[in-house]
Structure 1
Amino acid sequence: MLLNPTDCTDNLDSFQSLKNMKESRSLLCSILPQRVILSIMGTLAIAAAYTIRSCISMAITEMVVSVDDGNHKGKAEEFLSRAGTKYNWTQTQQQAILSSFYVGYVISHIPAGLIAEKFGGKWTCSLGVLFMAICNAFTPLTIEYGGWMALIAIRILVGLGGGTTYPALGVLLASWVPQKERGKLGSFVLGGGLIGSMLSNYFSGLILKTYTWEMVYYFWSIVCVAWFILFTLTCSNDPGSHPFITEKELAYLKKEMGQTKRDDDTPPTPWISILTSVPVWAMAIGLIGHDWIFYIMSADMPKYFKDVLKLDTADNGLYSSLPFLCTWIVSILSGFLSDLLITRDIVSITNARKIFSTLGAIFPAVFLVAASYAGYDKEKVILMFTLCMGFLGNFFTGLKVNALDLSPNYSGSLMALTNGLAGMAGVVVLPIVGVMTPNSSLEEWRFVFWITLGFTILRSVIYIVWGSAEIQPWNHRPARNVTPECGIKVDLMKKDKENQNNQS
């Protein structure tokens, strides 16, 4: 069959266009390293997941009858008929709804970590967030036909998707980020939840001011679907399989990390060694202490501002977002400072993790208690909450990246285990808070904050004494497919090459 010259020209033009596109992508990667692009998209992954996790905290302030209206029993029916879509849920029911996410969140952590280690973190992370977005979009319909119990069920499903994010990103970071960049890039990525919480609170407040609470769920689901498309087009499981990474960056990562392509033949996770590791349990307890504070702030701060400080919807969204902005800024600065102290041999990696972990534990709890003693002074309370969340930012370069220190090879499983255990704080603490604050009074919240301070001091002592950032012995994988014959062949090949060099 004869070829038409025009077809050949078209094919050449198509080939040249493809070549030009690849050169453009390579140029982008040379300007902005691919590990930085992955870090940005990883940050947005957690941010996207947190918008869906957190949006209910703002939405529920307009979904339910407020404490003041509920206390006027004679006007309750009048208020309900006037409000239309509002529900007369008790404080205990509301806290059960807010905590239900963490049930699914805890359950999916370990399976997600194992899947990410076996098949890579890209699809584990992206499909998890997509699943969250789909379930979240069906939330208003679920409430309409099933009530608050059905809402709990669908929030558990949302949590199942959310539980994949940290384990999958732990695997991706271990594949992409060298140890000496782990403080700043790790803090940047794992601090994405702060960006998500900040954006969720602020924009949800604006949406609630103009539209109904149902629009909050639809809006954030659309945002997460957009992220899913962008992430899947720009990211890969590892540097060795990325089509547009530069040779310079690949050589750098090879030098710093030794391996730039995932090994799909993953040996079984050494669970017995992990579960009997003292540094692992010290990290897990530290994470529980952090999440105790973080979940109270992210889930209950909008309710505190409305029920105690009587802020309106728009102000609530604004002032609920400011503390998370402060946390994110501090997490970035502390990440750079931590890496600087380590690279200049001022402190060891272990001591750096302990210093920043302690700063991110004690001071937040102290300012939390101080907020309760500021009474009803809005400016002082907002300042105390902002300082609380600001110091909490030190946690990310302290404890949050610790799983990557202890075991780069099994970081997915390790992060799944410890972060899953920490997620139990949401399952247990939030319902207890609901029982302890039936009237959402200042005195009830003060007691909650004092208990938080006590546990925070205990967890800090445990991590200071038993925490570590040294690579654990069980991280090293056993050599595979090595036989004496193979060793002999390698030795003979080396000797032949040496003889050839000597002869030349």
Structure 2
Amino acid sequence: MWWGTVFGGGVLASNKSCWCYSILSVLDRFQSWFYPCVHSCLSIEWRWLVLCDDHARRKLSFETDLKTRKLLRRASVTISMEEGKMENGSGGIFRRLQFWKLLGAIPARFVLYLLSFTGFLVSFMMRTDINLAMVVMAKIKTPSVYNKTGSEPMYCYDTSVNSSEEVDVSQEEGEFDWDPSIQTTIISSFYWCYVLSQVVGGFLVQKFGTKSVFGYSQLATAMSSMLIPKGAEIHYVILIILRSIQGVASGFTWPAMYSMIAHWIPPTERSRFMSSFQGFTIGIGLTYPICGFIIAHYGWRPVFYTTGSLGLLWCVFWWFLAFDTPQEHPRISKQELAYIQKCTATTIAENKITKVPWISILTSLPAWAIGITTFGRIWVHYTFIIPGPLYMKTILGFSIQKNGILNGAPFLLSYLSSVVFCYVADILVTKRIIPLTAVRKIFTALSQVVPGILVLLIGFVGCNLTLVLSLWFVAVTLITASYAGAMANIVDIGPNFAGPVLAFAQTIHMSASFISPLVAGYILKNDTTLGQWRKVFGITSIVAVGTYFVYQAFGTSEVQSWNYPKETKQLPQIEQKEPLKSPNGTTGKNSFDEEENP
């Protein structure tokens, strides 16, 4: 039995023979809050204390059972004469108590999944909004539909789209007189800095942790997004600077989240958790149709205000709900904490590792294989993301709203496919149907070889819109299989240094995010006909398929020797012995099922 009395700034508690008085800091203007008791005799049995900080003379009394953690007596409030009567005081506090108890019952891994999913969703909304906005920001000249001989159509919309649609295309006049080289520089400036900041992000994560690095990165990106409309009006150089700031900040996000996964997620759940990264596909999928609607009705400026505001709102949730390690989480259950510690004990060193084995990482063939093969995936992916809207307008002739819908729809489907891919991969590994290395290679091939072939076919099916869009949708959807393949492999080979390894791999493969549009821009510089687009798609196909064979030759799922510090003995991998069991004693169960009470 435990009873407690709460005053304005602290709690006077009695637990049998032990007395403690702790002054706890609370948030201003909150009437009640929960805070973990740091006193040893209380923290073992009772994890939450109720605080009343709105008045120094208000007192809350309650009783609870330490084992069941249930209130035995309804919370009551005593108020001094100076404060006066408080309306519905005890009922309000009791309801808040029940609310936070319910929040504490939600598995912490599930909360982290939602934060990761929405974080990447918002991040990619802020980075891709300009891809569609640029179509109406800059002036684009639409040339004649037929070539000089008049025998072969160079564009599809004259024969595939009705005349009213063609009028829509001609009426979409841009505001700024930027030539194609300036447009390419504006869009690519984000990715130049994005690539350069990857390794720096790995260092920062090891030093400051994921919560600070990811949170402040999103904050900087959101604030820059809000300033883009004004910067574009002043000069395009200001716009380039703002996009560069976004690139640097966004470059920190991926290494940060990979580092957190290594500490939070058991090996057999990682493929499923990796589906949270596909929030970026939902972000892209939502950005294009939403931006298309906003641009068509309100202009391009509100696009950046909308995405920036969403970024700022997300930062608030991240700051209060995210924690670097399970041990730091104030609301995690004992069962979930024990489960995570047991499952990650063989790969996560107990001591805090500060020195990153960069030489070993830079000379690791598996790390290079991941970086090179994902270079091909990013190349084909960003062919759809950046030049894609231009292809939809100049070749297929779609209006800005239809452009946004058709570009965004396959990315929305990509999230569903990523969940399926990651779930199937986890089942194959957990039930030991296929070795982990083989699983990673199969899904990597599915994400690169097949889309590489499909993107080549897009250029040669002519102006059959149904077939073109079908191939487009399938290719974009299959790309997400990489998150059950090479991308998940990053945590496999070096869980202690997942952030630095990801930073190294991203430095390689994200360079394709600006090389790909630069190559496309060079090919299309003076001639944006269907024939030139076939060259763009052909090069994309060669890169996507060719880079996969490097991973096929050197890829592996084995934890590398440099993952362990010299003073830590390397332990065998759990997944090589037997399937991991969740707290309820089952295998292959949903990774976020609530653990049973002992």
TM-score, scaled relative to structure 1: 0.87
Give how far 1:412 is off.
0.6
Q: How far apart, in 2, do the equivalents of 1:37 and 1:174 lie?
A: 16
Deviations 1:131-160, CA, capped at 9 Å, x for gaps:
00111111111111112x332222111101
The code of the aligned residue for 1:364 comes to P
Which of 94, 118, 123 pairs up with 2:183?
94
* Structure 1 partner of 2:40: none
Unaligned 5+ segments in structure 1 are 72-81, 481-504
Over 3 Å counting, the alpha-carbon distance change for 1:25 and 1:419 in structure 2 is farther
Over 3 Å counting, the alpha-carbon distance change for 1:357 and 1:14 in structure 2 is farther
Q: How far apart, in 2, do the equivalents of 1:227 and 1:7 lie?
A: 33
Determine if contact 1:52/1:133 at 8 Å carries over to the other structure.
Answer: yes
Determine if contact 2:201/2:255 at 8 Å carries over to the other structure.
Answer: yes
* Structure 2 partner of 1:112: 201
Give how far 1:84 is off.
8.1
Q: How far apart, in 1, do the equivalents of 2:333 and 2:253 lie?
A: 27
* Structure 1 partner of 2:213: 124
User: Of the two structures, which has the highest relative contact order with CA contacts closer than 8 Å and spacing of 6 or more?
Assistant: 1
Determine if contact 2:380/2:541 at 8 Å carries over to the other structure.
Answer: no
Structure with greater helix percent: 1
* Structure 2 partner of 1:430: 517
* Structure 2 partner of 1:56: 130
* Structure 1 partner of 2:473: 386
* Structure 1 partner of 2:52: none
1:241-390 correspondence to structure 2 within 5 Å: 241-258=328-345, 265-390=352-477
The code of the aligned residue for 1:324 comes to F
Larger radius of gyration: 2
- After alignment, is 132-141 or 261-270 more displaced? 261-270
* Structure 1 partner of 2:16: none
Deviations 1:262-317, CA, capped at 9 Å, x for gaps:
97842310011001100000000011111101111111111110111010011111
Q: How far apart, in 2, do the equivalents of 1:201 and 1:273 lie?
A: 41
Over 3 Å counting, the alpha-carbon distance change for 1:67 and 1:369 in structure 2 is farther
Determine if contact 2:215/2:319 at 8 Å carries over to the other structure.
Answer: yes
Q: How far apart, in 2, do the equivalents of 1:448 and 1:85 lie?
A: 25
Which of 17, 36, 41 pairs up with 2:115?
41
Q: How far apart, in 2, do the equivalents of 1:174 and 1:388 lie?
A: 30
Q: How far apart, in 1, do the equivalents of 2:378 and 2:348 lie?
A: 33
1:139-178 correspondence to structure 2 within 5 Å: 139-147=228-236, 149-178=237-266
Which of 8, 22, 27 pairs up with 2:102?
27
Over 3 Å counting, the alpha-carbon distance change for 1:329 and 1:146 in structure 2 is same
Q: How far apart, in 2, do the equivalents of 1:242 and 1:384 lie?
A: 45
Over 3 Å counting, the alpha-carbon distance change for 1:83 and 1:61 in structure 2 is closer
Give how far 1:261 is off.
9.9
Determine if contact 2:139/2:173 at 8 Å carries over to the other structure.
Answer: no
Q: Secondary structure at the match of 1:138?
A: helix
* Structure 1 partner of 2:315: 228
Give how far 1:248 is off.
1.3
Deviations 1:433-453, CA, capped at 9 Å, x for gaps:
101112322111111111111
Over 3 Å counting, the alpha-carbon distance change for 1:86 and 1:248 in structure 2 is same
Q: Secondary structure at the match of 2:496?
A: coil
* Structure 1 partner of 2:591: none
Over 3 Å counting, the alpha-carbon distance change for 1:84 and 1:261 in structure 2 is same
Over 3 Å counting, the alpha-carbon distance change for 1:138 and 1:100 in structure 2 is same
The code of the aligned residue for 1:349 comes to L
* Structure 2 partner of 1:487: none
Which of 397, 412, 416 pairs up with 2:503?
416
Q: How far apart, in 2, do the equivalents of 1:315 and 1:83 lie?
A: 13
Unaligned 5+ segments in structure 2 are 1-6, 9-54, 62-75, 79-89, 146-170, 569-598
Q: Secondary structure at the match of 2:330?
A: coil
* Residue 218 (structure 1) aligned with residue 305 (structure 2): yes
Q: How far apart, in 2, do the equivalents of 1:90 and 1:374 lie?
A: 30
The code of the aligned residue for 1:61 comes to V
Q: How far apart, in 2, do the equivalents of 1:434 and 1:473 lie?
A: 43
The code of the aligned residue for 2:210 comes to G
Determine if contact 1:239/1:261 at 8 Å carries over to the other structure.
Answer: no
Structure with greater strand percent: 2
The code of the aligned residue for 1:341 comes to L
* Structure 2 partner of 1:74: none
Q: How far apart, in 1, do the equivalents of 2:538 and 2:192 lie?
A: 26
Determine if contact 1:236/1:242 at 8 Å carries over to the other structure.
Answer: yes
Over 3 Å counting, the alpha-carbon distance change for 1:355 and 1:26 in structure 2 is farther
* Structure 2 partner of 1:209: 296
Deviations 1:158-188, CA, capped at 9 Å, x for gaps:
10111011011011111111100011111x1
The code of the aligned residue for 1:173 comes to I
The code of the aligned residue for 1:183 comes to S
Which of 193, 214, 220 pairs up with 2:280?
193
Q: How far apart, in 2, do the equivalents of 1:201 and 1:192 lie?
A: 15
Give how far 1:27 is off.
2.8
Q: How far apart, in 2, do the equivalents of 1:50 and 1:92 lie?
A: 23
Determine if contact 2:447/2:479 at 8 Å carries over to the other structure.
Answer: yes
Deviations 1:465-494, CA, capped at 9 Å, x for gaps:
1111111000012328xxxxxxxxxxxxxx
The code of the aligned residue for 2:140 comes to S
TM-score, scaled relative to structure 2: 0.74
* Structure 1 partner of 2:585: none
Determine if contact 1:64/1:86 at 8 Å carries over to the other structure.
Answer: yes
- After alignment, is 170-179 or 20-29 more displaced? 20-29
Q: How far apart, in 2, do the equivalents of 1:338 and 1:145 lie?
A: 50
Q: How far apart, in 2, do the equivalents of 1:214 and 1:428 lie?
A: 28
Sequence identity (%) = 26
Q: How far apart, in 2, do the equivalents of 1:205 and 1:20 lie?
A: 43
Determine if contact 2:289/2:405 at 8 Å carries over to the other structure.
Answer: yes
* Structure 2 partner of 1:404: 491
Determine if contact 2:139/2:174 at 8 Å carries over to the other structure.
Answer: no
Q: How far apart, in 2, do the equivalents of 1:125 and 1:375 lie?
A: 44
The code of the aligned residue for 1:133 comes to A
* Structure 1 partner of 2:68: none
Determine if contact 1:52/1:221 at 8 Å carries over to the other structure.
Answer: yes
Determine if contact 1:118/1:264 at 8 Å carries over to the other structure.
Answer: no
Q: How far apart, in 2, do the equivalents of 1:366 and 1:43 lie?
A: 29
The code of the aligned residue for 2:125 comes to T
Q: Secondary structure at the match of 1:224?
A: helix
* Structure 2 partner of 1:450: 538
